[in-house]
Each structure stands twice: as structure tokens, then as C-alpha cells.
Amino acid sequence: MKNTEDLVIAIDGHSSGGKSTFAKALAKKMGLTYVDSGAMYRAVALYALENELIVDEKVKRQDLIERLDAITIEIRFNSEKNRHETWLNGRNIEDEIRGVEVSKWASTVSAIPEVRITMVDLQRKISKNKGVVMDGRDIGTVVFPSADIKIFLTAQAEVRAERRYKEMVENGLQASYHEVLDNIMLRDHQDSTREASPLKRAKDSIDLDNSAMSMDEQMKWFEELLEKRREE
């Protein structure tokens, strides 16, 4: 097994399963860079919403594909807030991309193969020659098929909706619990049934159902996994 600082850890799973909280905590603990791949699809969705590329509840697919070159996405570290933030064409959009509307369209634009190719390219570029913890849907299957550790993380849909709802309320975002649950179930369906890189377990991934687990328990679970891997 590689040195800790060179490890590539892929975390895939359903929406709002706590992937990013887990991945961030893990990255911090291991001293690795955290990359939120979903934020990139969210940034594309926001761009489409702001540039009349979504009209009558439909994405203007061809126009969006032609505009991909005009979309610059960066992940910058904000030392004041001690977090990584997503920037779209030079603008900090980290808070804007977390609402229900952007979530919904992120799922739609992420099903477009050309969008995926561009984002996967960016994800690999960002992680070049360094250890990372990256979360998403296709990290262990497409982005880093030879990741050192692959985790498929999930929780029951109702538990995920409850967590997401609480998080939105805390962040002052408007939504009802049922709206959030419907959104999660819709995204589960879209993410798992789309033709381009659907969400699926990598053959060599390890399942983690965190429905009834605290973050400490999840970290402990990971420590044991890492220890086992080092012994192998």
C-alpha cells in the first residue's frame, strides 16, 4: 500500500448520504485534498440556469454542449471559512449551488455524456500527482478505476431526506421535508438509470451504510478498514 499522502480514496453513493461530510472528515484526518465532484455538475447546472440554457423546464442540450468551453470551474480553498469553495467563471458560487433547483438540474445535466467527459477530465487534472479523497457517483468506476480504496456509501432514503432537510433549514434554505424526499428519490432514480456512467458499485468497493452511524463511528470503521488493508 502507498504512503498515506499519496492515497486516492473514491467515495461513491446516493444523494445526500453524507458522502461529503464523511469525505471531508476523512481528508482532514489523513491530510489529503478533498474534491467534491458533484459541485462541478452543480456549477454547470447553475451556468445553464443563468444563461437561458434551460427553457420550459428543458435543458437546451446542444447549446449547453457548445458552451462547455466557456465554463471555467475552480475549487479554491477559503482559509477564513476553512473550506473548499466552488468558483464559476471567477465567481464564488459555493452557497448558491446547494438549493433544490440547482440540485435538480445538476442531476439532469450530469446525464449528458459531453458534460461528463469534460468534468471527468477536470477531476483528474485537479488530482494529478497528489493524494485525494473524492466523492461522487462514478469516482471508483470511471474517474479513478484504480483508486486505492473505494467506498460505496449510502443510507435509507428517509434518513437522507431528514438530514438534508435539517441542513437546509440550518442554512436558511426554503423547502419542505416531502419536497426534499421527492427530490432525493427522483435523483436516485435519474442517477442510477441514466445511460452515461450510471451510479453503480465498483466491483472492488466496500459498502458503508451509515443510516445509524455517527461520524466518529464512521471514522472508526475507516481506521479498521485501512489497518486491514495495510496488513494484506
CB of 47 to ligand DC, least distance (A): 14
Binding status of residue 94 toward ligand DC by CB under 6 A: no
Using the minimum distance from each CB to ligand DC, give the nearer residue, 64 or 226: 64
Stretch that binds ligand DC, among 77-85, 106-114, 205-213, 222-230 (CB under 6 A): 106-114
Q: Quick one: the chain helix, strand, coil %, rounded to 5?
A: 50, 20, 30
Q: Looking at beta carbons only, is 20 or 218 nearer to ligand DC?
A: 20
42 and 102 in contact (C-beta within 8 Å)? yes
Distance CA 103, CA 91 (A): 19
Binding segment toward ligand DC, per CB under 6 A, in 71-79, 102-110, 148-156, 204-212: 102-110
- The vertex-110 CA angle with 86 and 10, nearest 5°, equals 65
Taking the CA atoms of 216, 95, 28 and 118 in sequence, report the sign of the dihedral they define: positive
Closest among 8, 43, 1, 36 to 22, alpha carbons compared: 36
Among 106, 122, 133, 161, binds ligand DC (CB under 6 A): 106
| Residues in region 60-79 near ligand DC by CB under 6 A | none
Q: Least distance from C-beta 216 to ligand DC, angstroms?
A: 23
Q: Which stretch binds ligand DC (CB under 6 A): 83-91, 137-145, 150-158, 172-180?
A: 137-145
What is the rounded end-to-end Cα distance, in angstroms, of the chain? 9
Angle (nearest 5°) at CA 14 between 81 and 158: 95
# residues near ligand DC by CB under 6 A: 14
Residues 143-182 that bind ligand DC (CB under 6 A): none
CA 152 to each of CA 60, 89, 155, 170, 185: distance values in angstroms, whole numbers, following the listed order: 32, 32, 10, 27, 18
- Stretch of 52-60, 130-138, 170-178, 200-208 lying at the interface with ligand DC (CB under 6 A): 130-138
C-alpha atoms less than 13 angstroms from C-alpha of 225 in its C-beta half-sphere: 16
In the list 59, 64, 105, 107, the residue contacting ligand DC (rule: CB under 6 A) is 107
For ligand DC, the binding residues in 10-39 under the rule CB under 6 A are 15, 37-38
The residues that touch ligand DC, with contacts defined as CB under 6 A, are 15, 37-38, 41-42, 106-107, 110, 136-139, 187, 191
